[in-house]
Structure 1
Amino acid sequence: MLLLHEGSASAQSDTTLIKSYLKTLTKTPQFRNHNNVDQLNLTADFLKTIFKKSSDSVSVQAYNVDQKTYKNIICSFGTENKKRIIIGAHYDVCGDQEGADDNASGVIGLLELSRLLKDKKLPYRIDLVAYTLEEPPYFRTEFMGSYIHAKSLNKSDTEVYGMISLEMIGYFKDEPKSQTYPLGILSVKYGNKGNYITLVKKFGSGEFVNQFSKNFKAGKNILTKTFASPPSLPGIDFSDHLNYWKFGYDAMMITDTSFYRNKNYHQKTDTMETLDIPRMSKVIDGVYNALISLNP
């Protein structure tokens, strides 16, 4: 565990844009769940439009489930490079709710990263991937957008340096007892305030995860704690990075710890009004600064 003080790095992300994106993604005619394919497609089109403002390399990875077509949206930078980093977040929601933290927050991380990476000279390729069908009933199935994407990389023998899943990065609380854990004893080590972002990795992580984590913490953008455990611990694989682990890729998750902190998880109360946008922007800054500090 490493604690860092906020505010020691200059801001990069735009809180006005973040608010605008949150409104567009969450205040929609229909909820963006697997039943509302038209709404998912409208969301995909919006993401594609924003990505195209920053990159000439934007593609759609479409696939069929139960005679319906679902789409991953991929925005790439540094395409002249062979070695690749994947930053992913899912844009679908669970059931009939807005899904501001879960996971509009992570998707907006991708949108802001695309703006920040525009015209940057990179020593590696970065693919920002907005996934569909992360949520039930498709979670842990081969129909998850992230499984489709990870499988395609494996099939094409793509050289993947590492992967990061942005999974709920906008909810923070400073009150005592606002943070819980899968094991109660962990509160002794990590504290009981939900005022930090977590870098989640499994034991035996590789060069990318360890170097990125080191860079993220060194940037001191936001109070940060790292959490490493066996994959069997509840919660450590509750997002899209699990599918990259399945194919042997070095992967991790950045999260506000989901339901261990945010009691709006999978509820109608998961709205943009509950998010801490300034701290969310600092998480995005931290990701960006850590990425551009990598030397693969």
Structure 2
Amino acid sequence: MKLFATVFLLFLSFDLYAGKSDTTQIRSHLITLTKTPGFRNYQDLKTLNEASQYIETTFRKYSERVVVQPYNIGKKTYQNIICSFGPENAPRIIVGAHYDVCDNQQGADDNASGTTGLLELARLLQHENLNVRIDLVAYTLEEPPYFRTQNMGSYVHAKSLAEAKVPVLGMVSLEMIGYFKDEKHTQDYPVGALKLVYGNRGNYITLVRKFGAGKFARQFNRTFHKTDLIRTKSFVGPAALPGIDFSDHLNYWAFGFSALMVTDTAFYRNKNYHQPTDTLKTLDLTRMANVIDSVYETLLKLAKN
């Protein structure tokens, strides 16, 4: 009887800690987002719009509150897609990822992985009873030639929140969350000496924020670590350090919002960055699912307090 009870408790424990993200769904989203012959860059508006339509359609499966935020650059119209959960007028947490790519490449890690994270979070959040509002935002035009310009989708979104004086608790940028390596010497850093602190294996997810990034960024960082679902390391440094602001969170910093980035460290690890070799077959979907689950569990703890 004692042996049976022990086995049952072990089984129950395994079940309780089983992942919530679905790797089959993750793979399906990635296949759709990275399909060719087109490429979802600023010049290929047809393929970019097909991606945004897929994101919108998927969001609408899980929420009745989906909004398209269009804006024009010359004669072309680009759009962010926003999916909301929780009380309409409550303070907001923004979770964002860009769905465009740089040049003619599939961009599986950069950033179909982050976009897929949003789609899975929408599925997971659909039945949650939240005390704050969570907006999942798929951005366009994060990549060159619009990076660091006011034409970035995240700049348009952050500016709209600031101008409307929307109460924002903080923002999380999902920027490349699917590439992991356990071998030695698979992780680089902007400063070589950081290998002594963080190691030389690319087998972890990183939470990146600048000094003075704000209360929410600190809370998210601390809570994410406590989920203990994926090997995690935190990096905090000056905003001028190369790589620390290389995604959509920089635009929320510009408007005074607390923000941080969840990343596999991009080109400091993934040498397929901005290359045709950034394909689905290079990604670790199990660990990517663990990252998504960690974000989900962290959001629940912050949104239900």
Do 2:213 and 2:253's aligned partners in 1 also have CA atoms closer than 8 Å? Answer: no
Q: CA deviation at 1:66?
A: 2.2
Other structure's SS at 1:137 match: coil
Superposition pairs of residues 174-193 of structure 1, within 5 angstroms: 174-193=182-201
2:207 is the counterpart of 1:196: no
**Bigger fraction of residues in helix:** 2
Could you say what the CA RMSD is over the residues aligned between the two structures, in angstroms? 1.2
SS in 2 for 1:53: helix
- RCO higher in structure (CA 8 A, sep ≥6): 1
After superposition, the Cα gap between the structure-2 partners of 1:263 and 1:61, relative to the gap in structure 1 and judged at 3 Å, is same
Which residue of the partner structure matches residue 157 of structure 2?
149
How many Å apart are 1:81 and its aligned residue? 3.9
Amino acid corresponding to residue 184 of structure 2 in structure 1: P
Which residue of structure 2 aligns with residue 286 of structure 1?
A: 294
Question: Does the CA contact (< 8 Å) of 2:90 and 2:131 recur in 1?
Answer: no
Give distance in 1, aligned partners of 2:130 and 2:90: 11
C-alpha displacement at 1:52, in angstroms? Answer: 0.4
1:282 partner letter = N
Kindly indicate whether residue 180 of structure 2 is the aligned counterpart of residue 164 of structure 1. no
Please give the residue correspondences for 1:20-39 in structure 2 after superposition, counting only pairs within 5 Å: 20-39=28-47
Give how far 1:119 is off: 1.8
| Amino acid aligned to 1:253 | M
**Aligned to 1:116, which of 121, 124, 128?**
124
Match of 1:233 among 232, 236, 241: 241
Measured after TM superposition, the shift of residue 8 of structure 1 is 9.4
Q: Following the alignment from structure 2 to structure 1, what is the Cα–Cα distance between the partners of residues 126 and 31? A: 24
For each residue in 1:17-48, what CA deviation from the matched residue of structure 2 results, as whole angstroms up to 9, or x when unmatched? Answer: 00011100001330000001111111111000
2:18 is aligned with 1:10: yes
Instruction: Point out the more displaced range, 23-32 or 127-136.
Output: 23-32
CA-CA distance at 1:215 after TM superposition? 1.1
1:214 to 2:222 alignment: yes
Distance 1:84 1:120 in 2: 15
Greater CA drift, 258-267 or 29-38: 29-38
User: Which of 64, 75, 82 does residue 83 from structure 2 map onto?
Assistant: 75
Contact 1:9 1:219 in 2 (8 A): no
1:57 aligns with 2:57: no
Are 1:257 and 2:262 an aligned pair? no
In the other structure, the counterpart of 2:4 is none
CA contact (8 A) 2:82 2:136 kept: yes
Gaps of 5+ in 1: 1-6
Q: Distance in 2 between matches of 1:278 and 1:8?
A: 17
Deviations 1:154-194 (A, max 9, x none): 01000000000000000000000000000000000000000
TM-score, normalising length: structure 2: 0.93
| CA offset digits 1:30-82 (Å, max 9, x no partner) | 00000011111111110001000100000100000121000100000013342
Aligned match of 1:4: none
Aligned-pair distance for 1:203?
Answer: 0.9
Q: Report what 1:3 is aligned to.
A: none
**8 Å CA contact retained: 1:87, 1:128:** yes
Give the counterpart letter for 2:192 in structure 1: G
Unaligned runs of 5+ in 2: 1-14
Question: TM-score of the superposition, structure 1-length normalised?
Answer: 0.96
Counterpart contact for 1:81–1:123, Cα < 8 Å = no
Tell me how far apart the structure 1 counterparts of residues 121 and 36 of structure 2 sit (CA, whole Å). Answer: 23
> Secondary structure of the residue that 2:192 maps to in structure 1?
coil
1:113-140 deviations in whole A, cap 9, x for unaligned? Answer: 0000002110100000000000000000
Aligned counterpart, 2:12: none
Q: Which moved more, 1:8-17 or 1:168-177?
A: 8-17
| Pair 260,154 (structure 1): closer, same or farther in 2 beyond 3 Å | same
Secondary structure of residue in 1 paired with 2:274: coil
3-state DSSP of counterpart to 2:246? coil
Identity %: 62
SS in 2 for 1:243: helix
**Contact between 2:224 and 2:298, CA under 8 Å: does it hold in 1?**
yes
* Aligned counterparts of 1:172 and 1:8: Cα–Cα separation in 2: 25
Aligned residues: 290
Q: Which runs of 4+ in 1 moved over 4 A?
A: none
Q: 1:207 Cα deviation (Å)?
A: 1.8
Structure with larger Rg: 2
1:197 and 1:43 mapped to 2: Cα distance? 26
